[in-house]
Structure 1
Amino acid sequence: MINNVQLFTNKTSKYDHTTIVSRRTNQISTILDGLLKDYQAHTRPNFGDGPTKVHLDILINSFGPIQDMDMSYTINCYFRQGWRDERLQFAEEVGVLSLSTKMLERLWRPDTIFYNSQYSYLHTIPTSNRLWRLFPNGSIWYSSRITVKAKCNMNLKNFPVDTQICHLLIGSFANSALDIQYNWRLGNNKSVNFDTKVLLSQFDLIQYPQYDEITNTNGRIQHAVFKVPKNKQVIVLDFADERMPGGYFLENAMTQEEVILYNSDGYQALLDLKYKLMDGGYMLPEYGVAYIKRVRFFQKQSNNERFTDLIVAACYDLSGIGEGLYIPPLSNDMQQIRSRTLQKFQAIIASAVANTEGDGGDTYLLLGPIGTGAFKNDKKMIAELFFKVLNNPLMNSYQSIRYAFDQIWFVSTDNHQIFEEVFKNH
């Protein structure tokens, strides 16, 4: 018989744990109440100070069927979006918050849609397949499981040995790129993945590249080149004078080409082109360009520099003043104007493709409304012709030539409404 043993029951641990959980819950409730006190869900983050950036990635868990009868395909995926809302910042020591999706309804969210979707739905069985995380710096990570049936324009001319390119076009329903800017969270060609090997009954999946949308950027070209992320190749379209290097640079003119030259060593590069390669003469081909590598841009009031390539090209002078080197089509012959300008644009894009580094996955192409200033080319026509070139194969490419680049920016100090309407409506 043992008499010196006493039994002790821990009567406090359960209650202490309950107290800790209760304190944690109260702390989170207090934080959320404070964050939402004056929160305006109808106002996007960063309003008035640039676009809200939304980062995307997709995990596909089933692909197919691909239906040639109605030209469509179906995917089931986890569609993930991330953005930062500085109004939702809280103390770092609190950690990441994983909360009910009901809370999400009280916050601003991007109005993301699939432009070529025929129908889509969110999985809701046995519960709504959504989750979200709120980080201390105000970043939000939002994932939803969805099924999308999307339109795929097919060319069945070579059936049954055909190759089809099916796009999934993602963007904002009601906002322009000036308000919401989408990009791939892990970069191009790394942000769409499959959780199993894809087996299709009638097709082989060759590749699934991801690229960002064409972006319209307000501002001057000398500022835009420094907005491109470091370690990216930058190719800039120079709205050039085809008769003399730099146009009226020495007379302090302020067209796009002169602005480039005031902020770079491009004028020396043009003189080298004239005297070293053209034997003292200077002219740009009617349906060609001059391509200059490693032009150095300087950022005023700092020591920053950025190397870019220049595509030196010109449009027809339709103003009637006669500044252009080549005789333009008659002003009332729009078919000829469009046809010949289209050839110019094909040469511009072809020169950029031929000079991309690697597979173009790190190349930013900076274009603009060339010829719409003093030369009086119609801005809608220029937008439509760029759209046609960029969204069709070129140089024996198997898909639209726009996918040869990481991003394409249209940079101008003018309003981009016409360009936005053309690219959205088409």
Structure 2
Amino acid sequence: MDIQINNHPLNGNLAAISSKSDAHRAIWLAALADQRTTLQLGQLSQDIEASLSCIEALGCQVIHQNNNQTYQIQPRVNPLKGPFLVGESGTTLRFLLPILASQITSKQEIEIVRQGSLITRTNLPYRQLFQAHGLSWREEDLSIWISGQLTAGHYHLTGDVSSQFVSGLLLALGNLKQASKLTLTSPLESAAYVEMTRHSMQLFGQTVDYHPLSRTYQIPGGGYQACHYIVEGDWSNALFFLVGGAQINNLSTRSLQADRQALTYLHELGHQIPSDFALENQNPAHIISGSDLNTKSGGLRLTFKPNPTNQNKELTIDARQLPDAIPILSLAAARQARPTRILNGQRLRLKESDRIESTLALLRALSVEVETEAQGFLIRGGSSLQGGAINSYQDHRIAMTAAIAGSLAQGPVTIHDAECVAKSYPHFFQDFKKLGGIYHVL
């Protein structure tokens, strides 16, 4: 589906959709809990539907209530039955693999089926770990087959490919009867996502200690306790409309979501941040231990004011800790009259698209001056955004960034394959229209 966006400022306010990252963790922990868990979750995306489908294949009963706003998840109601269909959800796949390995018997071989770009995204850290611990791994075309059984012990895993591997293994080891250890063999990228995992595990009764000097997690084991879980509003998707000028409500001011860190960069790029949401006003020591993470939330609107005094001062953005925010931060950087350098973008090439190349193509289509660098790119901002045609490369974050660009650009912006937004935000264009955005399907 191709969509044309016409210039028109966004305004008004909108409730943030449920956090995909937070929902994935809650769904898988509920699937492993000792009793029924009540989960408050808003409208589903394709990725969340993939996780719900997989926990049903794992033997859970999922009951929708209150117009799908509340989910009752009852574990171990039915026998495990594959194949497991993960679609294009990398988080679903990387949480499922170790959890499934902890649930099957040593003689079972279970099939996991992928789609689209997920087929080519790497799973090497798990494949090496499984084979080192006596589990079988077989991969062909769309499918991965695993057999064997994950047991308690001391595991070693790289931290610089994707934090999803670390989170998935922590979730699985926490459900084993005995304690385990996980030691990282490299520095951890996107560390905030693992902190989210630790916090979610804590709410389900497991406290995981981390020792930074040895990069070791101590997982007590013993399983999880059911709870009532309220999924946070999603910072990743809120950033698009915040940069567009709208107010987004129901965002946690103490959230551990990695993309909340984008506010620091947006402030440098000319957006005024209310004090309640400023990261420097938060106490990191309180964040991980507090059970009130989901209770303190509010509405946020950013006011954009170009700052000519910074036009010769280069801003650097480290892509390692917030790779999902790079497309929309790049658009924000294009509007500010200062050079912005995106660094450490190796992992951007392993997303739904090669997110370095797709972001560069988006900016060039808008007549933004950019330069390719070894592991990132340089944006020479300050020029007006022009209209143009943008290929989404089937990457939901590229398509949503293009839509915001269209609301700000001087000419129409055409987005090719815009339907890919359904991966994380199925009603994105309906909400875009509610906020005053103008589009039509070509």
Structure with bigger RCO (C-alpha 8 Å, 6+ apart) = 2
Structure number with higher helix proportion: 2
Higher radius of gyration, 1 or 2:
1
- TM-score w.r.t. structure 1 length? 0.28
TM-score w.r.t. the length of structure 2 is 0.27
